[in-house]
Amino acid sequence: MKKPNRTLLHLLFTCRRPLIFTFISYYKNYFMSERICLFPGTFDPVTLGHIDIINRSLGLFDKLVIGIGRNANKAPMFPDEQRLEWVKEIYKEEDMVEALIYDGLTVDCCRRIGATYILRGIRYVSDFEYEKAIADMNRSLDPAVETIFLTCLPQFTSVASTLVRDVLRNGGDVSRFLPDVVRASLTKYCGPFQLKKPNRTLLHLLFTCRRPLIFTFISYYKNYFMSERICLFPGTFDPVTLGHIDIINRSLGLFDKLVIGIGRNANKAPMFPDEQRLEWVKEIYKEEDMVEALIYDGLTVDCCRRIGATYILRGIRYVSDFEYEKAIADMNRSLDPAVETIFLTCLPQFTSVASTLVRDVLRNGGDVSRFLPDVVRASLTKSTQKNISSKRQKETV
C-alpha cells in the first residue's frame, strides 16, 4: 500500500482523532448551548405534510424555528402574515417552536437565529436530487450549518403545497390535506368553492386538530420519558471508511449518545471479522465518551429497543441510495413507530467511497489508503492483503 499523501483533507479526516471531528465536537457541544434548527419553506399553505415533518423532528432539537421564506421570483397565494399566523396558532402551546419570516439566503437566516441545523423533508427521488444540491450549496456557504433529512410518511407523499394550490384554484376539496386552522380560513382567500367537512378518522385527528394528538404524544414521550437523545448508526463497516467517519462526525452535535452498530449479515460473509471492525471503531473514537460501538444480530429496531435509541442515522450518497434507504426507513417505522430515521447526505468528496468498492479494490491488490482512516489503513498489512488474494483465488477455483 502506498504511503498516503498528507494533504490537509487527509489530515482533517484520517488521523486517530480526526481534527475536523475535534473541531465539530468542541464547537457544537461547548460553544452552542442549544440545538437550534431552522425548517425553511414557503408554507403556501401549511399542509399536513409540513406538520408531519415538524412533529417528528421535535425530539431532536432544543428549539425549532419555522422560517417562512419570501421568494422574489413568484407571488404567493397567501400573504406572509397569514402563513406566519397559521404556524403560530398551530404551535402556540409549544414553547420550543418559533416562527418568523425571512428574506435572502437560508444560511444567513441560520446565522441570525444561531441555528446550526436545517431540516428538510423528502417525498420522492426527484426531491432528493434537488434537496441534495441545495444542501451541498448551503454547506459550501457555511460549513457550520448541517442539513438533515426526514422522509415523509407514505400517506403524505402526495401532499405538496404546489398541488394543494392547484386544486384550490380549480375549486377542489383540499380539506383532507390541511390542518384545521388553515382549512377554517381558506374561504377568505379562495372564494366560494365547496369545502367538505373532513372525515374525522383517527388519522385526521392525529394530525389536524389545533394541537395535534400525535404532536402531544411525541413531545411527551421524547421530552419527558427519554432523558437522552440516543441514536444508532447501523452498518456492516466492512471496512470502516472515510465516508462512515464523515457521517458520524457531522451527526455528533445532534445526539447525547451515538451507538455505532456493526450488524451481522447472515446472507454474506464479511471480508473482515466482526471483532476487527469493532476494534477499529473503538480505536477511532476512544477519546469520545458519547460514541459507543457494539455488534448486533437481527432487526435494527430490536437493537434500538435494547439500547434505548429513538433515532437511526443513515448516510445517502446517490439517488439509488435514497430509494433503498427510504424503503428500509418505512419498514422500520412500521415495525416500531417510536424509532425515527434521519438522513445526512455525504460530502461530495466521499460520494464514491463505499465499503463494497473498497473491498473490490482490495481484492484486486489496489491502493485504498486514500479512502480509509489511519487506524484501518495501518492494519491492512501486506499479509492481510496476501490472505485476501489467496481467498479470492480459492473462490475462483
Q: For residue 275, what is its C-alpha cell?
A: 471483532
Q: Which of 28, 35, 50, 229 is catalytic?
A: 50
Q: Which of 83, 120, 132, 161 is catalytic?
A: 161
Pick from 286, 345, 329: nearest CA to 120 = 345
Tell me the H-state helices in the chain.
8-14, 19-26, 48-57, 80-90, 106-113, 125-141, 161-169, 180-185, 187-190, 202-208, 213-220, 242-251, 274-284, 300-307, 319-335, 355-363, 374-379, 382-396
Pairwise CA distance, residues 15 & 374, whole Å: 6
The answer to whether 244 is a known catalytic residue is no
The answer to whether 123 is a known catalytic residue is yes
The answer to whether 74 is a known catalytic residue is yes
Q: For residue 264, what is its C-alpha cell?
A: 451481522
Q: Which of 74, 197, 268, 394 is catalytic?
A: 74
Distances (CA, A) of 308 to 174, 256, 260, 301, 356: 39, 12, 13, 10, 30
What residues contact 343, with CB distance under 8 A and at least 6 apart?
122, 148, 149, 150, 151, 314, 315, 316, 322, 325
Pairwise CA distance, residues 48 & 7, whole Å: 48
Q: Which of 123, 132, 229, 326 is catalytic?
A: 123
Point out the residues that are catalytic: 50, 74, 123, 161
